[in-house]
């Protein structure tokens, strides 16, 4: 038995590819590449990215199986709830949602520095406030950026990276030798761990599963997008090692993409990269705020978060959720801009994602046992043994990201932060959620603000 | 009350709510509901905000919702919010997220938080 007939509107494979690639392509990836190259010891950064990418393919297979079983925009909330339990699902949902805030803040940081490099007279902080404020305003009015603009930007960025990187690599000032390309630095494992961050977000196409008639295009789209991301950013890190032959000097650049653009095409390349950085960060802001605010809305409707988070404005946008996310992102972006501790965001973000990939591997194994008869349009590989191995590897990579130095004194800030965040989320789930669930429903009149 | 009765009451409540009529004046959609355990199929139509319901399959539906019959009945009678079974994987939807959100908002406006 199945639902009858076809849907009026369906999304094609190209949308799955562009959405997956677009959501993974954040402006902070440029700085993550720099960090990866530093840890990898220079030109072998591409190899770290490739290894991380191969591991991510296994994570992609797990997401594909879960998405095929329960194609839902609630995604991990549903899967972890069924595969483990409601408590773990809520705690991980809260922690996972903070990754969106991290990525928005990180992209705001990059954007601030890009604009400061382009127009030194205006502080990057002003750009951050103005541009993040602009995207928040657009979202509050219920205006959605056209899907073509939103999704096409990822492919534009990757095409730019491939083109500019090849231009630099084909005319290198410092030739790449095989020895350099395969020289593994002492922190190569951490380079792989941070390499996970480059692919962060590829799986955020799964919440769109309901809009595809044939859910099998989601796995195809994710795997193709992973390949494109690996090629684009792999070439970018290789080109960086040509522009910066000494890995230690890499860390001093906060706008490596502008340097690469300049090297490839002169001032035209520089300004092209400014524009691409702007569109990339803006689409990150837009996609992140739109998706996460609706996730928060859904949790509030389920009475896991306070009902105020489900309040809608006249444009039917969950405005309290949106403003809270935007405010948190802006605060974090300003804090990071002032302190310069952007590695904190990359390392913590990479860790959260690694733990999430480990958890989904466990969920796949558990659901094979708990729900053997549920239809699966995609079956992950080597369940359960490969699942447990993948879970162990990603847990190790997550710990590696948390322990990677992100400050001058080697204080493991991301580790402390993530532990505290998880404890707070657990405390909230134990103490506050039961009270919210028990509360009686209010009247319909309070649901929408009149102003 | 059976599922059809719940749907008809839902349609009546929607049509009597002026704010909802105003909100949905640009919303013309056909929704198919499938009770997976009883194989009962019903439809719900919004014609520029005027809601109607009936029994049978819906060709060219904009939105398709499937769940056990008791869950569908609870959702459309306001006993639970659609988000509760949805976030548990007990209610599955096919279609645009904007339309899903719109249906959820309608239940929010009728029955509150």
pLDDT of A410 higher than 80: no
Q: Cβ–Cβ of B92/A8 closer than 8 Å?
A: no
Structural domain contains residue A301: no
The CATH number of domain B3-111 is 3.30.750.24: no
CB-based contact, B87 to chain A, within 8 Å: yes
CB-closest option in B82, B84, B112 to A444:
B112
Beta-carbon contacts of residue A283 (< 8 Å; ≥ 6 apart): A22, A145, A149, A150, A153, A154
Residue A293 lies in a domain: no
Whether residue A448 lies within 8 A of chain B, CB to CB, comes out as yes
Using CA atoms, how far apart are residues A177 and A185, in angstroms rounded to an integer? Answer: 16
Would you say A207 and A75 are in contact if contact means Cβ atoms under 8 Å apart?
Answer: yes
CATH number of the domain encompassing residue A235? 1.20.1740.10
CA atoms of A207 and B93, how far apart (whole Å): 12
Confidence band of A434 (pLDDT split at 50, 70, 90): very high
Decide if A136 is inside a domain: no
| Contact of A301 with B104, CB cutoff 8 Å | yes
Assigned domain for A195 exists: yes
Find the range with the poorest average confidence among A170-184, A228-242, B57-71.
A170-184
Read off the tokens for B29.
């959609």
Residue A137 domain-assigned? no
Residues A119-175: tens digit of each pLDDT: 999 999 999 999 999 989 988 887 666 556 666 778 888 999 999 999 999 886 667
Note whether residue A82 is domain-resident.
Answer: yes
Q: Is B64 on the interface with A (CB under 8 A)?
A: yes
For the residues A192-199, what does the mean pLDDT come to? 92
Residues of B in contact with A7 (CB under 8 A): 61-62, 64, 94-95
Confidence label for A222 from pLDDT (cuts 50, 70 and 90): very high
Average pLDDT, chain A: 87
B57 in A contact zone (CB under 8 Å): yes
What the block records as the tokens of A187 is 């922190």
Round to whole Å and give the CA distance between A104 and A289: 8
Of B36, B96, B110, the CB nearest to A211: B96
What is the number of domains present in chain A? 1
State the pairing for strand pair B63-67/B29-35: parallel
The range of the structural domain enclosing residue A19 comes to: 13-109+145-287+342-435
Cα Rg of chain A (Å, integer)? 22
ipTM of the complex: 0.88
Which residue in B63, B108, B52, B54 sits closest to B84, CA to CA?
B108
In a domain, A355, yes or no: yes
Q: Are A301 and B81 an interchain contact pair (Cβ–Cβ within 8 Å)? A: yes
Residues 6+ apart with CB under 8 A from A187: A38, A39, A40, A41, A404
**Pick from B84, B105, B113: CB nearest A316:** B105
CA A396: distance to chain centroid?
19
Does position B86 have pLDDT exceeding 90, yes or no? yes
DSSP string for residues in A389-435:
HHHHHHHHHHHHHHHS--STT---HHHHHHHHHHHHHHHHHHHTHHH
Do residues B61 and B33 touch, judged by C-beta distance below 8 A? no
Note the pTM of the prediction, 2 decimals. Answer: 0.89
């Amino acid at each position: 038995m199945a639902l009858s007939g076809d849907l009026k509107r369906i999304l094609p494979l190209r949308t799955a590819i562009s959405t997956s690639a677009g959501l993974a392509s954040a402006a902070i990836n440029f700085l993550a590449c720099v960090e990866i190259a530093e840890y990898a010891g220079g030109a072998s950064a591409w190899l770290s990215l490739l290894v991380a990418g191969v591991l991510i393919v296994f994570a992609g297979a797990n997401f594909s199986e879960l998405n095929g079983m329960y194609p839902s925009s609630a995604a991990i909330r549903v899967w972890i709830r069924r595969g483990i339990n409601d408590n773990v699902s809520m705690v991980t949902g809260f922690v996972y949602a903070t990754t969106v805030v991290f990525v928005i803040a990180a992209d705001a940081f990059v954007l601030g520095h890009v604009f400061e490099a382009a127009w030194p007279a205006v502080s990057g902080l002003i750009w951050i406030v103005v541009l993040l404020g602009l995207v928040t305003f657009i979202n509050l009015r219920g205006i959605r950026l056209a899907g073509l603009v939103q999704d096409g930007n990822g492919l534009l960025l990757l095409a730019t990276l491939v083109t500019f990187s090849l231009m630099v690599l084909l005319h290198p000032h410092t030739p790449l030798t095989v020895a350099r390309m395969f020289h593994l630095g002492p922190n190569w494992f951490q380079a792989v761990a941070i390499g996970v961050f480059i692919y962060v977000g590829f799986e955020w196409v799964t919440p769109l599963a309901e809009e595809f008639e044939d859910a099998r295009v989601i796995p195809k789209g994710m795997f193709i997008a992973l390949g494109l991301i690996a090629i684009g950013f792999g070439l970018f890190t290789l080109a960086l090692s040509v522009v910066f032959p000494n890995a230690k000097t890499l860390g001093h650049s906060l706008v490596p993409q502008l340097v690469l653009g300049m090297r490839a095409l002169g001032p035209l390349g520089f300004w092209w990269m400014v524009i691409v950085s702007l569109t990339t960060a803006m689409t990150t802001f837009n996609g992140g705020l739109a998706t996460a605010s609706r996730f928060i809305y859904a949790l509030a409707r389920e009475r896991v978060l306070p009902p105020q988070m489900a309040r809608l404005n006249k444009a039917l946008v969950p405005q309290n959720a949106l403003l809270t996310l935007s405010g948190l992102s802006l605060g974090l972006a300003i804090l990071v801009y002032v302190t310069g501790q952007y590695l904190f965001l990359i390392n913590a973000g990479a860790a959260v994602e690694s733990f999430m990939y480990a958890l989904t591997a466990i969920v796949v194994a558990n659901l094979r046992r708990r729900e053997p008869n549920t239809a699966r349009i995609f079956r992950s590989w080597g369940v359960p043994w490969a699942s447990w191995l993948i879970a162990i590897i990603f847990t190790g990579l997550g710990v590696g990201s948390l322990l990677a130095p992100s400050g001058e004194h080697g204080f493991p800030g991301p580790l402390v932060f993530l532990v505290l965040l998880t404890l707070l989320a657990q405390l909230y789930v134990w103490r506050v959620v039961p009270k919210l669930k028990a509360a009686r429903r209010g009247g319909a009149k309070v649901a929408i603000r009149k102003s | 009350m059976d599922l059809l009765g719940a749907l008809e009451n839902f349609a009546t409540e929607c049509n009597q709510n002026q704010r909802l009529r105003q909100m949905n004046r640009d919303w013309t959609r056909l929704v198919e509901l499938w009770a997976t355990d009883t194989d009962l199929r019903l439809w719900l139509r919004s014609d520029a905000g005027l809601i109607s319901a009936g029994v049978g399959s819906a060709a060219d539906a904009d939105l398709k919702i499937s769940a056990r019959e008791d869950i569908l009945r609870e959702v459309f009678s306001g006993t639970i919010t659609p988000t509760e079974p949805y976030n548990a994987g007990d209610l599955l939807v096919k279609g645009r997220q904007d339309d899903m959100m719109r249906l959820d908002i309608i239940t929010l406006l009728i029955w509150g938080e």
